[in-house]
Amino acid sequence: SCPTMCRAMGLAGVLLGLVVVPAVLVSTNLRHGALRTGAEPEPSDWELAADAGPEDSLWPLPQWVRTYPRQLQLAPSRFQLVHGAGSSAGPGCGLLQDAFRRYYEYMFGRSRWRTWGRRPLAARAEPELFQLQVVIEAGDPGCDRHPQLGSNEAYYLSVTEPVAVLKAPEVWGALRGLETFSQLVHEDDYGSFLVNVSEINDFPRFAHRGVLLDTSRHYLPLKSILTNLDAMAFNKFNVFHWHIVDDQSFPYQSIYFPELSDKGAYSSNLIYTPADVHLVIEYARLRGIRVIPEFDTPGHTQSWGKGQKDLLTPCYNGGQPTGSFGPVNPVWNTTYGFMTEFFKEISSVFPDEFIHLGGDEVDFSCWKSNPEVKEFMKKQGFGTDYAKLESYYVQNILDIVSSYNKGQMVWQEVFDHKAQLKPDTVVQVWMANNYAHELSSVTGAGLTAVLSAPWYLDYISYGQDWKKYYSVEPLKFSGSEKQKKLVIGGEACLWGEFVDATNLTPRLWPRASAVGERLWSSSNVTNLQDAYKRLRHHRCRML
């Protein structure tokens, strides 16, 4: 059960009065990826009193952590998060200003500290920590830019009196470091805010760490999406894969094609206006999260047909149209005309370098029934191989999207059906059956891959299923070192068939946290007991 104040490290209060020479390391977690000394250091080498380790609530576990028993206290009325000397970012950096306020609130806002009732400093043994200074090292901090696949999320954190320092090449690392710092600050039994002297060097193992939400099967109100972005930031996720439209509904309000949502959304108030979309993108940006929209075609498009006539393939039965429709019609020029316009809008609305184009689960039966399509197949010499038709369509879309200088993400079928992909296309591997083999194939073909197959979190089950997500090793497939490098990360997917705002949060979290650590932390961070110890604190803190 979670103590009401979510006091993660009450036992740390036991260490009151201990003044230890800094060189004596009583608690050390050396998990630097480069230090491959062979055996995992034995827990007995560094066990602290009971399980009072200050890193007992760090999630995801940083690459390299060193904590000391010496503690510093923080006074909410005096403690400040500031820009350090030499930082290329300053008060004009809105992103950091916003983060300072947010993290201050996370650390101190929960407990109703009073500004009166000041106790003289001498009454406590611990020195006071007055500031966390944030220093951005790169010449151009990136304050006003959007995070990208190549963004640098590394940071160095040194917590020592009188001032702690957080150094990061770019603001994205500073955001990650602020989250970690906030996880180190804890309250003791008396309500005092303490932090152990620590040193942390951290960076993510994988650059693409995402969460997929599906707003078509069930509409998700803005609040749900924003709350989820907060939770993602707590777990250092950096990609929000917005599967925004699908068969069931089209909530995206398009500027060029307003009929799409007018006719395709569940109802007129269950839409995302351009303002809503901007809000999501900016809210995400301030948390270092990229928003990759997915406009899945040619399958999964029933709702598109409501607002866009002559886009979907009319299905036939015995020479007559049945009145129902199938995937996007790949043989009409108007299809590509529409897509050119549509993706022009998408490319300008969504600033990320990548757009997800879907391409999964295309049902060929409607195409097979349509005489025009059959005619086209003959003309193109595709025979009866409809995968070729699908690839023909997909390639056209890829070209269209490329012309807008956007990179493309696709589901694995696009690769499996042998479409011609650009070298920097990202293939999302989602089919659970033998996904290791698929990773080998995709990376073997020189393409980058993102893994989702073992992380379909919509597949709920009884008990602690977070363990099975945690135990996945994304690089466990046969391939060269070069191939392994092509796996840029993964995504936890929460498909919406059985999910809406009433159950999203408890279903996704903290199960997705397991994926978050797997994608950020070092590959040798696999101990389930240790993970459980940290995860239970982390989960209560997230609440």
Partner 1 sequence: AENEPSWETPCTELLVYVSTPGCDGFPSLDSKENYKLSVSKGSMLLSAETIWGALRGLETFSQLVGRDENGTYYINETEIVDFPRFPHRGLLLDTSRHYLPLRAILETLDVMAYNKFNVFHWHIVDDPSFPYESSTFPELSKKGAFNAMTHVYTASDVRTVIEYARLRGIRVIAEFDTPGHTLSWGPGAPGLLTPCYMGKTPSGGYGPINPIVNSTYKFVTSLFQEVSTVFPDFFLHLGGDEVDFTCWKSNPEIRAFMMEMGFGEDYKKLESFYIQRLLDIVSSLGKGYIVWQEVFDNNVKLRPDTIIHVWKDNNMQYLKEMANVTRAGYHALLSAPWYLNRISYGQDWIEAYKVEPLSFEGVPEQKALVMGGEACMWGEYVDVTNLTPRLW
DSSP H or E run through 354: strand 354-358
**460 binding partner 1? (CB under 8 A):** yes
Short-list 516, 508, 521, 513, CA closest to 456: 508
Q: Which is nearer to partner 1, 55 or 188 (CB)?
A: 188
CA 375 – CA 346 distance, rounded (Å): 32
Q: Which amino acid is at 398?
A: L
107-128 burial by CB neighbour count: b if 16+ within 10 A, else e?
A: bbeeeeeeeeeeeeeeebebbe
- Single out the catalytic residue among 47, 259, 361, 375: 361
**Is 223 a residue that touches partner 1 (CB under 8 A)?**
no
Number of residues that bind partner 1 (CB under 8 A): 19
Which residues, 440 to 459, sit near partner 1 by CB under 8 A? 458-459
Measured from the CB atom, is 472 or 542 closer to partner 1?
Answer: 542
Nearest to 289 by CA among 299, 281, 298: 281
Position 116 contacts partner 1 (CB under 8 A): no
Phi, psi of 384 (to 5 degrees): -115, 20
Q: Which of 334, 348, 420, 464 binds partner 1 (CB under 8 A)?
A: 464
Catalytic residue flag (residue 361): yes
Segment contacting partner 1 by CB under 8 A, of 54-62, 227-235, 263-271, 461-469: 461-469
Element (H, E) at 34: none
> Nearest approach, Cβ of 503 to partner 1 (angstroms)?
3
Q: Assess contact for 77 and 199: CB atoms under 8 A.
A: no
Q: Does 505 sit near partner 1 (CB under 8 A)?
A: yes
Nearest to 112 by CA among 17, 191, 32, 33: 191
Q: How far is the CB of 433 from partner 1 (least distance, A)?
A: 17
Binding mask 348-387 for partner 1 (x = CB under 8 A): ----------------------------------------
Rg (CA), the chain: 26
The distance of closest approach from Cβ of residue 498 to partner 1 in the complex, given in angstroms and rounded to an integer, is 7
What are 428's strand-pairing partners?
Answer: 411, 450
CA distance 362 to 51: 52
Judged by CB under 8 A, does residue 502 bind partner 1?
A: yes
Instruction: By CB under 8 A, name the one of 334, 348, 503, 527 that touches partner 1.
Output: 503
Among the listed residues 507, 526, 530, 536, the single contact to partner 1 using CB under 8 A: 507
Find the binder of partner 1 among 21, 23, 122, 543 (CB under 8 A).
Answer: 543
According to the 3-state scheme, what is the secondary structure of 372-418? HHHHHHHHHCCCCCHHHHHHHHHHHHHHHHHHCCCEEEEEHHHHHCC
Is 433 one of the binding residues for partner 1 (CB under 8 A)?
no
Interacting span for partner 1 (CB under 8 A) from 1-9, 140-148, 163-171, 254-262: 1-9
- Per CB under 8 A, does 267 bind partner 1? no
What residues make contact with partner 1 under the rule CB under 8 A?
1-4, 458-464, 497-498, 502-503, 505-507, 543
Enzyme catalytic residues: 361
